[in-house]
Amino acid sequence: MTDRLEVSFAGVKLRNPIILGSATPSRDGEASKKGGLAGAGAIIPKTITTPALLSQHPRCGRLHFVRHGRRRPFGMVNTELYSTMPLEEWLDRELAIAAEGGAKVIASIVAEGAPEETVALAKRVEATGLVDMFELNVSCPVSDAHVGQNMVEQNIEIVVTQTRAVKEATSLPVGVKMTPNVSDMVPIAQAAKDAGADFLTISNSVKSLAGVDIETGKPYLPAYGGYTGPAIKPIIQRFVSEVARAVDIPISAVGGVRSWEDIVEYIMLGATTVQTVTAVMWDGYEVLDKLVSGLSQFMERKGYNSIEDFRGITLPHITTIQEYAACPPKHVILEQEKCDDCGLCLKVCFYDALYTDRQGHLNTRPENCDGCGLCVETCPRQALSLK
């Protein structure tokens, strides 16, 4: 770990921008501590609830892998609610243990009841002196409180009232964990900033159904859950980039991070910190150390002395579909020496721009090519490109 990884996030100095997000791997003090010991810059213990909201989550299976056939999973659906540990235990013991890992502690608190309840919770957590920031969880897709949260207006109201109340009552930086279950996040992000939010976490998991067991006709998980892991990265990257371009507020990106390259992508899209959860659930805490060293080596190789050297550099290159459609067309080019005539590209060309010649070798008809790039993506030998 080197100083080049150090970041100032909403005024709090983190040893690196990689955060263990709020979920099962931070379910209590000992678990959270492991995240710190594995190298995370900050850890977010599982969302702490008010006594009134403390609820049981399903204990008859609540995690389901999403995959094609028997292949490696590309996503996961969970029906897990908030921490089932009573507030007193977090206050008396668990937060202190969490802090022992050497990472900053960001307290995720539930913010779905009456704002006074959220404030009372925040005050008690702040009084421990053990946490550095708050993350308001207004966005759990599993909770019944969010049945109507796809309505932007309704979401703005929750975000504004909860953020204002907690900001007025505490002195720590306050972030809002956004929902991705909306058509447009920008107005909600702007409203959160105007209400005093110091940062935004983008985002919580994508509301989903885990799938159907076709032998029994029953759903794998009989309640709607949250979709996480690599499959959601493009969805969350859209939101991170849209908010980063429109609202001037630090962003903690979370969704599908499994490699250091994912972290670099999110920083290039404007994030200041990046959280990960499913990767730790699939690969163990040691993935955090790999993420930290991978990011450090990348920055060294590129000569970046701080993440500010490359934060947001992708944003000016994101354009409108109209401008993109006006770019000069490209056509398929074949590098014959790389091609082994496997024929995979022939199946995916819908424009008759590829064919097998009399000698049995792949050849191109660039004049037919529509420049879609599907053959380029399909070729396992990088023999095709668009020029």
Ligand X SMILES: Cc1cc2nc3c(=O)[nH]c(=O)nc-3n(C[C@H](O)[C@H](O)[C@H](O)COP(=O)(O)O)c2cc1C
- What does the alpha-carbon distance between residue 232 and residue 288 come to, in Å, rounded to a whole number? 20
Pair 363, 322: CB distance under 8 Å: no
By beta-carbon proximity to ligand X, the closer residue of 270 and 349 is 270
Structure tokens at 98: 């969490």
Question: Does residue 22 interact with ligand X by CB under 6 A?
Answer: yes
Report the site for ligand X in 288-327 (rule: CB under 6 A): none
- What does the alpha-carbon distance between residue 270 and residue 186 come to, in Å, rounded to a whole number? 14
375 included as an active-site residue: no
Q: Which of 34, 46, 64, 146 binds ligand X (CB under 6 A)?
A: 46
Site string for ligand X, 355-384 (x = CB under 6 A): ------------------------------
Strand pairing of 75-78 and 225-228? antiparallel
Give the angle subtended at the CA of 101 by the CAs of 100 and 105, to the nearest 5°.
85
By beta-carbon proximity to ligand X, the closer residue of 28 and 384 is 28
Structure tokens at 309: 């050297």
Choose the binding region for ligand X from 162-170, 263-271, 274-282, 329-337 (rule: CB under 6 A): 274-282
Structure tokens at 73: 């999973």
Place of tokens 């995690």: 63
- What does the alpha-carbon distance between residue 101 and residue 15 come to, in Å, rounded to a whole number? 12
Considering the complex, what minimum distance in angstroms separates the CB of residue 28 from ligand X?
12
Question: Does residue 64 interact with ligand X by CB under 6 A?
Answer: no
Q: Which of 9, 82, 90, 285 binds ligand X (CB under 6 A)?
A: 82
- What does the alpha-carbon distance between residue 38 and residue 120 come to, in Å, rounded to a whole number? 32
Pair 123, 170: CB distance under 8 Å: yes
Report the site for ligand X in 221-250 (rule: CB under 6 A): 226, 228-229, 232
Question: Does residue 47 interact with ligand X by CB under 6 A?
Answer: yes
Structure tokens at 200: 């935004």
Considering the complex, what minimum distance in angstroms separates the CB of residue 334 from ligand X?
37
Of residues 62, 187, 83, 85, the one with CA closest to residue 137:
83
By beta-carbon proximity to ligand X, the closer residue of 47 and 364 is 47
By beta-carbon proximity to ligand X, the closer residue of 34 and 46 is 46
Report the site for ligand X in 173-202 (rule: CB under 6 A): 177
Structure tokens at 234: 């493009």
Considering the complex, what minimum distance in angstroms separates the CB of residue 384 from ligand X?
32
Considering the complex, what minimum distance in angstroms separates the CB of residue 62 from ligand X?
7
Residues marked active site are found at: 140
Residues making contact with ligand X (CB under 6 A): 21-24, 46-47, 78, 80, 82, 108, 137, 177, 204-205, 226, 228-229, 232, 254-257, 276-279
